[in-house]
Structure 1
Amino acid sequence: MRRTLLTSLFIIAFVGVCSVGCYKDVISPGSDPNGPPQFVSFSGDLIPLFNAHCNSTGCHDAGPAHAPSLVPEKAYNAIISGGYVNTAVPNSSKLYTVVQTGSMPPTGALPANNAQLILDWVRNGAPNN
């Protein structure tokens, strides 16, 4: 009887220790700058962002007062050829840093989730999608 009681206590203690050791870390894509990047479409996510905040103000339009041109037909080539993205070190991409620090747009900082979209797009290899 005593042996059965000790065995039962040992099993309960063992299961307790094992269950405390179990941990599942869940990081949602796009919620952490160092976590897994979310899927970002250049044409579906970034172009609307540029249209709303960058190319309609006269700064980054078709004949831009400030490079790069962020109108839909020129934006991708202007960003890539102008060296505004660094896929090797995405956090140092100029396109990301100016939005993340709040220095662009001059009308006021964009919400953090917009900067995260840009970062995730660069982290995904800056595809023309």
Structure 2
Amino acid sequence: MALKFKMNRKGWLAVFAGLLLFAACESDPVLTGDEVSYAGDIRPLIDQNCTFSGCHGAGSVQFELLTYNQVKLKAAAIRREVWELQNMPKDRTMSLEKREKFKDWVDAGAPNN
């Protein structure tokens, strides 16, 4: 014996909305504790390697990297110089692990976290 199942328009909309909600929840990133933090990881690296006289400190003729907004505006260029070209910092003493933090932070959208 076959069962007949008929769903009205509201029923289909409810099913569709439920599927969308489920899909949205599935795409949320899982926080692992390994995320790169601007305040905890990136800002200290910039302070140690970039914001001294003659580089990207106060009054820099190139550009300053003193605030989050200044860093965010230059995030793609920083990633390129630090990770891809490895031209920065000028003394090239930054470890691969620290360089990777810049890459990961920019790849995550350069969040102010």
TM-score (norm. length: structure 2): 0.61
2:100 partner letter: Q
RMSD of aligned Cα (Å)? 1.9
Stretches of structure 2 that go unaligned for 5 or more consecutive residues are 1-33
Unaligned runs of 5+ in 1: 1-37, 86-92
Alpha-carbon separation, structure 1, partners of 2:45 and 2:106: 15
Deviations 1:44-91 (A, max 9, x none): 111110111110243101212321x122xx2x111223xx23xxxxxx
2:59 pairs with 57, 60, 63, which one? 63
The alignment of Structure 1 onto Structure 2 pairs a total of residues equal to 80
The answer as to 2:41 corresponding to 1:45 is: yes
Pairing partner for 1:103 from 87, 101, 108: 87
Residues 111 and 57 of structure 1: CA distance in aligned 2, closer, same or farther (over 3 Å): farther
Cα distance in 2 for residues equivalent to 1:64 and 1:48: 19
Residue type of the alignment partner of 1:97: R
Structure number with higher helix proportion? 2
Q: Could you tell me which amino acid in structure 1 is paired with residue 43 of structure 2?
A: I
In the alignment, is the contact (CA less than 8 A) between 2:53 and 2:60 conserved in 1?
no
Question: What do the CA deviations read for 1:91-123 (whole angstroms, capped 9, x no partner)?
Answer: xx2211101222111122421111110111112
TM-score (norm. length: structure 1): 0.54
Distance in 2 (CA, whole Å) between partners of 1:122 and 1:50 is 14
* Structure 2 counterpart SS, 1:77: helix
Name the residue aligned to 2:72. 80
Q: Runs ≥4 in structure 1, deviation > 3 angstroms?
A: none
